[in-house]
């Protein structure tokens, strides 16, 4: 009985330690191919500066910005599956050198799905802001609210908590804004509108991006 108890205790400790290690380790190398492609694009087309830069995860990557904002100097630096910390880590290579006057960040979705807490996501945004403003102290940053989705609706409470924490940060800084896409993407039943999403229930159709365009346009129009 003692041996069995000891074995179970050791297994529990190993499980806890394994979980902690899994949560603390972050593999930035997995994005190297995507980041290198951006750098190759800069070499071929020249480094565009002073415009409006969108960065973040797949909801940004899949957004045809030139189609939705044909009259704006937009640049897409989204890389699918990424978290806020990834955009911070690669900021020098994909953000800072472009010296954007305005940045739209969408991330946090994947972060929470990978067991980060709302507080951790909020703190990661704070670190992103610090990284950008260290080199670009006058650049405005707009955080696009973590969206509701069919496939991650079980995370709704945590997402809303993270959004509230980040919105509170933005309210305290004149250079930060919070673009709310949460409410417009919900139906009368209070759940995500199915027609806004692709078959995976996570990524968006044209109708979803129209909502996003309406949410971010006012910040583009500000002088």
CA-CA distance, 131 to 147, in Å (whole number)? 24
pTM: 0.88
- Phi and psi for 136 in degrees, rounded to 5? -130, 75
CA-CA distance, 72 to 59, in Å (whole number)? 19
Cβ-in-10-Å burial (0-12, 13-18, 19+) of 219 comes to: middle
CA-CA distance, 69 to 115, in Å (whole number)? 34
pLDDT values of the chain reduced to their tens digit, one per residue, 223 residues: 545 554 544 455 444 444 343 445 789 998 899 999 999 999 999 999 999 999 999 999 999 999 999 999 999 999 988 999 999 999 999 999 999 999 999 999 999 999 999 999 999 999 999 999 999 999 999 999 999 999 999 999 999 999 999 999 999 999 999 999 999 999 999 999 999 999 999 999 999 999 999 999 999 988 5
CA-CA distance, 25 to 161, in Å (whole number)? 24
Distance of CA 14 to the CA centre of its chain: 32
Cβ-contact 91, 131 below 8 angstroms: yes
Residue 16, pLDDT score: 42
Class assignment of domain 32-221?
alpha beta
- Phi and psi for 145 in degrees, rounded to 5? -50, 140
Give the pair of three-digit tokens for residue 144. 């696009």
Question: How would you list the strands of the sheet with 102-106, edge to edge?
Answer: 74-78, 52-56, 102-106, 140-144, 176-179
Which three-class secondary structure state does DSSP give residue 176?
strand
CA-CA distance, 64 to 80, in Å (whole number)? 14
Which CA distances in Å does 20 have to 23, 81, 112, 162? Answer: 5, 21, 16, 21
Neighbouring-strand partners of residue 178: 143
Residue 161, pLDDT score: 98
Q: What residue spans define the domains of the chain?
A: 32-221
Give the pair of three-digit tokens for residue 83. 């978290």
């Amino acid at each position: 009985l003692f041996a069995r108890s000891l074995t179970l205790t050791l297994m529990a400790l190993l499980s806890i330690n394994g979980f902690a290690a899994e949560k603390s380790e972050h593999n930035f190398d997995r994005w190297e191919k995507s980041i290198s492609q951006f750098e190759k694009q800069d070499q071929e087309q020249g480094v565009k500066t002073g415009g409006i830069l969108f960065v973040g995860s797949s909801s940004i990557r899949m957004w045809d910005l030139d189609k939705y904002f044909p009259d704006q100097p937009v640049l897409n630096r989204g890389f699918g599956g990424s978290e806020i910390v990834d955009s911070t880590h690669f900021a020098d290579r994909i953000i800072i050198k472009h010296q954007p006057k305005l940045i739209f960040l969408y991330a946090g979705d994947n972060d929470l799905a990978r067991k980060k807490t709302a507080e951790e996501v909020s703190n990661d945004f704070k670190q992103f802001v610090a990284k950008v403003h260290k080199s670009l102290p006058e650049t405005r940053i707009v955080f696009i609210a973590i969206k509701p989705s069919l496939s991650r609706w079980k995370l709704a409470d945590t997402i809303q908590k993270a959004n509230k924490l980040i919105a509170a940060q933005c309210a305290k800084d004149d250079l930060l804004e919070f673009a709310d896409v949460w409410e417009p993407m919900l139906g009368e039943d209070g759940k995500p509108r199915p027609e806004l999403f692709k078959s995976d229930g996570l990524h968006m159709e044209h109708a979803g991006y129209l909502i996003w365009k309406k949410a971010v346009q006012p910040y583009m129009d500000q002088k």
